[in-house]
Chain A
Amino acid sequence: MSKKQLYSITALFDSPDAIINAASETSKAGYTKYDVNTPYPVHGMDGAMQLKPSRLGYFAMAFGLLGAVSAIGFMTWVTLVEYPLVIGGKPFWSWPAFVPVSFELTVLLASVLSIVAMIVIYFKFPNNAHPLHDTKYMKAVSSDKFGINIQANDPKFDEKVITEFFKSLGSKDIAPIYFDDEELQHGQKLFDPKFIGILLLVAIISSGATYLIFNQLMFMPPFNWMMTQEKLKAQKPSELFADGIGMRKPVEGTVARGILPYPFKGQPDSAGKYLVNPSLPTKEVLETGKQKYLTFCSPCHGNFGQGDSRLRGQFPNPPTLHSDKVRNWPDGNIYHVITEGQNVMPSYAPQIARDDRWAIIHYLRALQRAQNAKESDLK
């Protein structure tokens, strides 16, 4: 026993009030190297122990600011410099969208890094052992007791005086705590081969388990049921065909259903000459034409084709569709413009089906006639 080096004298109390009293008496008695351990934060303890305000708050503040600044900075860089994208017609730098992310990152960095800072500053990382660990005292104060301990390196330390002192404060459970011999000899345990070995083992087991699950288990029945399917996947090879290519080209001289190649690429005049509107201007066709026109054409050409775009100068305004030129064009020319586009007007072939394009032309003709009505139309 005598060989053992004393770390501190501990005393246990039953209530938060008793521990507050004990702490303030201890600090009044002039002890400086002591600490209090309680199962939960006891309010008013900093006052009783005469502690200076914790420095941790400043760390939290700095880390929080770091989070906020890096979030805002990163998003600014992405949206202004690296990858400017128009989203919903909003300015590139749209701060309201940044708020949630900045908030999250502020909170995340402030909390996580504060804990790291606390471990480094107060627990003197990489030191990972403490004489109080694994003692009866620690077990008690982490369940239902409130403890205080005065360390042996306190200038006023005297074992007998302190024991009496704790007794006078009403503690019934006073005990000395000794340094762990082994710990004293080994110094820091962080580089202990056993510790490193366990660390390695954990790393190997966890990465091994990950590998086994994702690269092996997933390929065994029954986990692979969804994986092996009889269908062909895009861009994958296939043994069924001699050339080993899974994706097939259309048979020579055929076209896919519903798709007709456009024969007049770059030839508006031939389109005007040879193409005939295949549908009749029935009520249904005109309704479809109206709907498609309002959806696809009206943003630029205006609801009545007068070239009064709704895009407020973000796209060049088109000319009116009631010009003599367009009115005298055969249907095929308009079909050509919709299919191929014209100068800045893009092609609408991918968006609008063939029949719908012809329906739009019927509707356009109706618009033109309404704008340039003749006496005879009124009958």
Chain B
Amino acid sequence: MKKELPSKVKNLGWALLFVGIVIYAIGYTVNPREAAFNNIIGFLFITSIAVGSIFLIALEYIAGAVWSVPMRRVNEFMGGLILVAPIVAVPMFFHLHDIFHWTDLGAIGTDELLKGKQPYLNLNFFIIRFVVVFALWNLFYRLFTRNSLKQDLSKDQKLTTINIRLAAVFLPVFAITLTVTAVDWAMSLEPHWFSTILGVYYFSGTVLAAVATATYIIVKFHENGYLQNLKRDHFYSLGALLFAFINFWAYIAFSQFLLIWYANLPEETIWFMKRWEGGMQFVSVLLIIVHFAVPYFLLLPQEAKMNLKRLKFMAIWILFAHLFDLYWLVMPTYANGVTIGWMEIGFPVLIIGLIIVVLGYKMKRHNLMPVGDPKLERGLKFRL
């Protein structure tokens, strides 16, 4: 069952990719600093989807889940973004001084706090971390998918056992590497600031983005006659997962706020003050509405989680919300107040293009269902 994306969609993907590259190029020539900050958002966004998908694969193996087996290939396809994510990051490495205050050795000399953090926050170690993290993710992605694809032909149950073991190794690695990524690319933008929960915060968005992407693609496939055997029960589970992580995000976001608000230490509260001044207070409130209130009520009814139209809409909505969330994380460091211009709107185009192109590339080559997986039969028969 190898299928191709309709050529219309494929062409759209290439077109978006091309336009995206042009936008990046113009952005970097016009205002490299703003472009670099937008690049962080795009990079974190694509990383979210990629590594979140790998996390979902690992989760399925380690939890022994059956319901998601028929849809696992979509995660495996989207995990493929892990190869292009570091490429998206490349332009930023030429502008690290524009983004990260801590790369300024002069500033470190006069700043006790930066001096204290220098053993971690220094350029060499930063690059090493980046390389190691992505090497690990790519390695695990290769291993997972290689075994899964091999199983399509050999139907060997041992491959599932191997992947379960692999998942057990991957999950702690994932926890550490994802935290490192959140600390490096989001927290260190404000090198004085710290929040021990920021890694979890980014994780909640990561899983949301991955589930939302998968949900959209799975529903689209289903509607176009690809994953025909999926039932309401499968869609309900996807909807429930989205709903759960919407709540998880709100929980973590509030936990972070509550502790900082309580302790009231200037070096921590400054981060929220920046998001509460110069118009940003409206953006912050809007984030709560877009990222929590609206999806919460739209996904709450049981029916909503099985309604394909609603699911598709919510998936796109949540992807946008995650993008918005990253904007909220990153942009206040670029400038005080609200920054919104053509770059903020145009930069995500590249990422959308990349997602479509990678999806088209992967699905042309591999079966849409893991036909050799011993749990597939039960997965198809799954009911709540």
Interface of A toward B, CB cutoff 8 Å: 16, 43-44, 88-90, 96-97, 99-100
Contact = CB atoms under 8 A, between A and B. Distances in A.
Contact of A88 (B233, B236, B264): B264
B233 A100 contact: no
16 contacts: A16-B383, A43-B233, A43-B383, A43-B384, A44-B383, A88-B262, A89-B264, A96-B257, A96-B258, A96-B261, A96-B262, A97-B258, A97-B262, A99-B254, A99-B258, A100-B258
Interface in B240-263: 254, 257-258, 261-262
A142 B333 CA distance: 59
Contacts of B254: 99
Interface in B369-384: 383-384
A97 B254 CA distance: 11
Nearest to A41: B384
Interface in B340-372: none
A61 to B, nearest CB: 11
Contacts of A99: 254, 258
Nearest to B251: A103
Interface of B: 233, 236, 254, 257-258, 261-262, 264, 383-384
A90 B383 contact: no
A180 B254 CA distance: 56
Task: Tell me what chain B mostly uses at the interface: helix, strand, loop, or mixed.
Answer: helix
B143 to A, nearest CB: 36
A41 to B, nearest CB: 8
Contacts of A97: 258, 262
A88 B263 CA distance: 8
Nearest to A16: B383
Contacts of B261: 96
A89 B266 CA distance: 13
A88 B258 CA distance: 13
A96 B264 CA distance: 13
B272 to A, nearest CB: 11
Contacts of A16: 383
Contacts of B384: 43
A100 B236 CA distance: 29
Contacts of A89: 264
A296 B261 CA distance: 26
A99 B258 CA distance: 9
Contacts of A88: 262, 264
A99 B254 CA distance: 9
A120 to B, nearest CB: 24
A44 B185 CA distance: 46
A94 to B, nearest CB: 8
Nearest to B233: A43
A36 to B, nearest CB: 16
B255 to A, nearest CB: 9
A223 B261 CA distance: 45
Nearest to A46: B302
A90 B258 contact: no
A100 B384 CA distance: 32
A111 to B, nearest CB: 16
Nearest to A17: B383
A42 to B, nearest CB: 8
Nearest to B255: A100
Contacts of A44: 383
Nearest to A90: B264
A97 B264 CA distance: 13
A99 B233 CA distance: 34
A99 B292 CA distance: 15
A144 to B, nearest CB: 16
A89 B263 CA distance: 11
A97 B257 CA distance: 11
A88 B265 CA distance: 11
A97 B236 CA distance: 35
Contacts of B236: 43
A96 B253 CA distance: 12
Contacts of B233: 43
A44 B232 CA distance: 10
B236 to A, nearest CB: 8
A24 to B, nearest CB: 15
Contacts of B264: 88-90
B261 to A, nearest CB: 5
A100 B254 CA distance: 10
B281 to A, nearest CB: 15
A44 B302 CA distance: 11
Contacts of A100: 258
Given A16-B383, A43-B236, A97-B262, 7 more contacts: A43-B233, A43-B383, A90-B264, A96-B257, A97-B258, A99-B258, A100-B258
Closest 8 CB pairs of A and B: A43-B384, A96-B261, A96-B258, A88-B264, A99-B254, A43-B383, A16-B383, A99-B258
Contacts of A90: 264
B316 to A, nearest CB: 27
A44 B233 CA distance: 10
A359 B319 CA distance: 63
A16 B382 CA distance: 12
Nearest to A20: B383
A46 B236 CA distance: 16
Nearest to B236: A43
A87 to B, nearest CB: 9
B77 to A, nearest CB: 29
Contacts of A96: 257-258, 261-262
A89 B269 CA distance: 14
B87 to A, nearest CB: 41
A95 to B, nearest CB: 10
A43 B254 CA distance: 34
Nearest to A43: B384
A355 B383 CA distance: 78
Contacts of A43: 233, 236, 383-384
Contacts of B383: 16, 43-44
B14 to A, nearest CB: 42
